[in-house]
Amino acid sequence: MSSTTNTISGADAIILALQAEGVETLFGYPGGAIMPLYDAMYRFGTQMRHVLTRHEQGAIHAAQGFARVSGKTGVCIATSGPGATNLLTGLADAFADSTPVVCLTGQVVARLIGSDAFQEADILGLTTPITKWNIRITKSSDLLEGISQAFYIARTGRPGPVVVDLAKNVLQEKINYDYQVCTGLPSYRPEPVAEDKKIRRAADWINQSERPILFWGQGVLLSDASDELRLLIDKAGMPAASTLLGLSAIPADHPLNMGMLGMHGNYAPNKLSAKADLIVAVGMRFDDRVTSDTSTFLPNARVIHIDIDASELGKVVQPHLAIAGDAATVLKSLIGFVEPALHEDWVAEFRSLKELEQEKVIDRDLSLNSELIQMGAMVRCLSERFPADTIVVTDVGQHQMKVARYYKFNTPRSLVTSGGLGTMGFGLPAAIGAKIACPDRQVISIIGDGGFQMTMQEIMTIIQEKTDVKVVMLNNGFLGMVRQWQELFFSKRYASTELINPDFVKVVDAMGLPAKRISSSSEISDGVNWLLASNGPCFLEVATDPEENVFPMVPPGVPVSDMWLEIINNK
């Protein structure tokens, strides 16, 4: 950006700074301390779109959805006190899932900070553990530099959320506007340079391996490394499996894509991880849902761990070779040194176990023979009927796992879900942000009846913003994932998991959104036809089997290689 010098209000300067950063959409909710910034937006007119959510948590989840599918930095705004504290869940979620979000929060005037003034909260102290960086600006002279650094830190290296806490006086004072987009900070090295000798050693290990598996995570998507990932596994003939957040990096039907890792992942990659002699882990952090008991995890494998965040290397699983670097850059270098291979016998073992899972689990989950709707059957029908580049945004629970298992993702950045924090209520507002970011792609929000009731007010945001989101609620009348654990490990003591729900169709219809309900397997196709034919946003309630479980499953304390295909020990 070229330098221009003008004396303007801090609020006006923020609007210009956001424009300089390429921001076109803001998600937020106004209030007293942040009001000068909203006034500036009003006076600037239509140069920037503001999406008025119905709750600040909805604003940050929408900003997350926007960021996750676009690769840009999401921006949200909240006022001081309760407005800012309502962002905390979203900040923790964005921090866990490495989502670049800049949150502008109002604060009382500088002279009142620390006096317990009306709607004052120590947002800096509250957000320090759950942000990549935060800053409080009490002097107008610090405003522009603080904002430019915030955007740079949020989007570079391993992305994450940043909070800029703005004292109200800073928004009102006059400053000299001379904004410079930040291109570097002296003490911050966002992208480590991988050592060439380590890359060559990794290639040697891959070439020597007889039973390799590549694990990939969201880091592949964040670095736009999907092509490099596919080229590497094709050349090395290496079976590959994804974390939940890594899904969609390569097509679901790729012959070396063996599915998902973890507690409710696919049988073959979990089972055969115990036989692997080499694991190449790229852009993933060995979450406990992937490893289970780390003392029994990968007993026979050398581990190569590639991650842009050096602090992840050795944090959970001690690698034999740690490479700090950007996924796309490292994979591109690796491809040049890896020798072509097939590993046909090893791949055949995966395919054999995939057939077993198909027989024991998948055929049952996708069955249309039952009167009661199976979640997997509904998800698979959506996958088969909607466009290949459809973006699916889920909430958290059984439906989330069914989507991960049965929706065939073929386009990068086409799944948005809450992984590390597991935030119920995430799905609906995140879908709004995803649709605004990608207006030409179809967006489905697949949610459960429990999570829907946490942020269902955002239906009104969909209506006010005319956001074409297809909302599909899988209603089993329970907090399903908790109920499943109660069935398996608490002798069916369903403590506080059964939900007495409203008539969702009437509620959503009263809000002004077309709504429909289906309750038998024979209606699935008609329900999907209705979604596809609807011109604009709509809501489909799907009454599902209340006792349906998610299998395979790794029970607590059990090695991932011993995962259950069905109930084998019901205490």
Integer-rounded Cα Rg, in Å, for the chain is 24
Tell me what the mean pLDDT of segment 366-379 comes to.
96
Query: 569 falls in which pLDDT band (50, 70, 90)?
Result: low
Q: Write out pLDDT tens, residues 433-465.
A: 999 999 999 999 999 999 999 999 999 999 999
> Whole-angstrom Cα distance, residue 58 to residue 33?
20
Q: Is the pLDDT of residue 12 over 70?
A: yes
Query: Which amino acid is located at 549 in the chain?
Result: N
Annotated catalytic residues are 56, 118-119, 168, 481
pLDDT in tens, 90-104: 999 999 999 999 999
Cα separation, 264 vs 144, whole angstroms = 46
Position 343 confidence tier, pLDDT thresholds 50, 70, 90: very high
Bridge pairing between strands 6-9 and 174-177: antiparallel
Q: State the chain's mean pLDDT as an integer.
A: 96
Contact (Cβ atoms closer than 8 angstroms) between residue 96 and residue 125: no
Residue 492 amino acid letter: K
Q: Is the pLDDT of residue 157 over 60?
A: yes
Banded pLDDT at 276 (limits 50, 70, 90): very high
pLDDT band at residue 1 under the 50/70/90 scheme: very low
CA distance 383 to 307: 31
pLDDT category at 557 given cuts 50, 70, 90 is: confident
Distance CA 503, CA 541 (A): 10
Predicted local confidence at residue 207, as pLDDT: 98
Whether 568 has a pLDDT exceeding 90, the answer reads no
Provide mean pLDDT across the span 215-233. 98
Residue 268: pLDDT band (50, 70, 90) is very high
Per-residue pLDDT for 3 more than 90?
A: no
Q: For residue 324, which amino acid is it? A: A
| Cα separation values, 118 from 82, 221, 505, Å | 10, 43, 40
Task: Decide if 463 contacts 537 (C-beta within 8 A).
Answer: yes
For residues 334 and 511, what is the distance between their CA atoms, to the nearest angstrom?
Answer: 54
Q: Is the pLDDT of residue 4 over 70?
A: no
pLDDT digits (tens, 9 = 90+) for 39-55: 999 999 878 999 999 99
How much is the pTM?
0.96
The predicted model gives 521-545 an average pLDDT of: 98
Please state, in angstroms and as integers, the Cα–Cα distance from residue 239 to each residue in 174, 202, 273, 501, following that order: 60, 16, 11, 44
Alpha-carbon distance of 218 to 123, in angstroms, equals 29
Percent of the chain with pLDDT over 90: 96
**Which residues contact residue 2 at a Cβ distance below 8 angstroms, ignoring those fewer than 6 apart?**
none
Token representation of residue 22: 């390429």
Helices and strands (H and E) in the chain: how many: 24, 20
For range 406-423, the mean pLDDT: 98
pLDDT at residue 27 in the model = 98
